A and B are shown apart, each in its own frame.
Chain A
Amino acid sequence: MLRINNLTVDHGAIRAIHGISFSVEKGQLAAVIGSNGAGKTTLMRTLSGLKGAENGTATWLDHNLLHGKPEHHVRQGVSHVSEGKSVIAQLTVEENLDLGALWRRNRVEAKATKEEVFTLFPRLGERRKQLADTLSGGERQMLAIGRAYMSRPALLLLDEPSLGLAPLVVEQIFQSIRQIVDSMGVTVVLVEQNAMGALKIADYGVVLNLGTIAASGKASDLIADPAVRTAYLGF
């Protein structure tokens, strides 16, 4: 399970996260919601090793997430899809996917995983030889998730996959994320500004506000909570 305890992170001179604690059970989908500047992206970058923490602990199973670089964490089963459709535009769809499995040094397994990705996102299979640059926003997001999945993660960190996408596409991507959790047993932490959409598919929810936890609990309870509804869900 993912355990975060008293985690404190600075962003430059500003304290972005003030000693937050929460945990996510294995095989669950946790949504971290909150407005712009709540510290969501900083949290994800810290968990994947792109950023250092000032204080506290964060562990996945018995692996310390606050020590080591991202390429180290990937080898321990933690993959991060960073904000803004993290694909490499100059590479083809297939190359972007292959990239995620290079470190595994096993072509046969990588090929099998790639077929799984194409089953999950058939549009990527149709465009495998195209440059990622030519994909639509939704397809890019699918590719970014697919690339992370190629590393066979046990814990997947997704930063705002819905950013800039049409509602119908967002729904499709959210369903695929749920499918990754349900049929492949991956634990997912989903950071979202689209709070309602994220909570609807999530098992567990954390509401971040200015670097502190404003509310947390079962996703369905959060949706029903009047305070959360008015402040974050907009009705």
Chain B
Amino acid sequence: MNQFLDMVLIGISAASIYSLMAISMVLVWRSTRVVNFAQAGMALLSAYIGYELVARVGNFWIALPLAMILGAAFSAFIEFVLMRTLQKHSSQGAIAAIAPIIATLGLLGLIRATIGFIWGHADVLLEPPLSKVGFTFGETTIVMSPMSLFVLLFVITLMIIVSIIFQKTNIGLALRASAYAPEIAQLAGIRVSGIRTLGWAIAGAAGAAAGILQTVNGTGALSPESLEFSLLLVFGFIAAVIGGLESLPGAVLGALILGLVLAAVQIYISGALVFIVAFLLLLLVLIVRPQGFLGSKAGRRA
């Protein structure tokens, strides 16, 4: 029973961070049809910025939202400068589909190199602001700590805010319309290119939160070559694909499935199998239900 509870808590905790990453992949995919491999680098950069802000401001609770805002601005800048330029100059054929993706790979390398240049290649430490010792009830200590509880609640709050923005506001309507049918949105008077940049900005904020929360929830160590951030990208992407790559609730569902399955493997079988199982899950979903669980077939065609 205790093992099962641990599995659920570990699974949900991991899922909350995967879902942020998955959401940022989905937002970028929906707004520009680009799989953004640089998302890992952008999240890593945000974590470093968070580290720098904590060092300067001395307060994690101010650093977190500030880093998210900067992450949003950086992401919007990338869309505005890099993606628009690429779209303008390679608008036709296979190259138009591939060029932006290759560019995001290049950007990933560039960001990592820049981080190494600024902060060095040795580990820096972003201290968790809350205790990471699990809550104790009588005799038993559970794996949920104040830190991981905060992460979970923060992510849930962000999800609620994002879903209110998307479902209830005019901006959200414009974001959805531009994602589903850019031409019709344009004919309806929506400035679609600005909305695309906004989509990237929200993705950047979510990615920044993912980067910082993953760091403080983990070892706290940051390095330009961080393997954790590569895994974050991969797991976020897998979660997004499970959910259909189009759907925000799908991304959260995909993250939950992935988080729980990986936690079960880790607890009941072996931690060494986590990576293999994650890929098997991706393959399984792509074979059995390529449109994902909440994606539409029409969406995949677009």
Contacts and interface: CB of A to CB of B under 8 A. Distances in A.
Interface stretch (A96-104, A122-130, A183-191, A210-218): A96-104
B220 to A, nearest CB: 41
A48 interface: yes
B176 A90 contact: yes
Interface stretch (A28-36, A78-86, A170-178): A78-86
Contacts of B181: 86, 88
Contacts of B188: 74, 99-100, 102-103, 147-148, 150-151
B180 A71 contact: no
B189 A103 contact: yes
Given A88-B181, A90-B180, A98 B187 contact: no
B179 to A, nearest CB: 9
Q: Which of A91, A147, A150 has the most CB of B within 10 A?
A: A91
A4 to B, nearest CB: 20
A90 B296 contact: yes
Interface string B166-190: 0000100110110011011111111
B173 A99 contact: yes
B167 to A, nearest CB: 10
Interface in B147-178: 170, 173-174, 176-177
Interface in A91-144: 91, 95, 98-100, 102-103
B48 to A, nearest CB: 38
B197 to A, nearest CB: 14
B1 interface: no
A50 B184 CA distance: 11
Interface bracket on B: 20 to 34
Given A99-B173, A102-B170, A91 B180 contact: yes
Contacts of B191: 71, 103
Contact of B189 (A75, A90, A95): A75
A81 B187 CA distance: 8
A87 B173 CA distance: 14
A82 B183 contact: yes
Contact of A99 (B190, B296, B299): B190
A69 interface: yes
A161 interface: no
A70 B298 contact: no
A88 B174 CA distance: 12
Q: Which of A50, A90, A147, A150 has the most CB of B within 10 A?
A: A90
Contact of B192 (A71, A87, A148): A71
Nearest to B298: A89
Interface in A146-162: 147-148, 150-151
Nearest to B170: A102
Contacts of A100: 188-189
A71 to B, nearest CB: 5
A99 B185 contact: yes
Nearest to A97: B188
A102 B173 CA distance: 9
B190 A102 contact: yes
Interface string A178-212: 00000000000000000000000000000000000
A95 B184 contact: no
A70 B186 contact: yes
A87 B298 CA distance: 14
A30 B173 CA distance: 33
A217 B170 CA distance: 44
A44 B180 CA distance: 22
Q: Which of A90, A99, A102 has the most CB of B within 10 A?
A: A99
Contact of A48 (B174, B176, B185, B187): B187
B190 A86 contact: no
Contacts of A50: 183, 186-187
A99 B170 CA distance: 8
Interface string A57-71: 000000000000111
B177 A91 contact: yes
A82 B184 CA distance: 8
B189 A88 contact: no
Contacts of B186: 50, 69-71
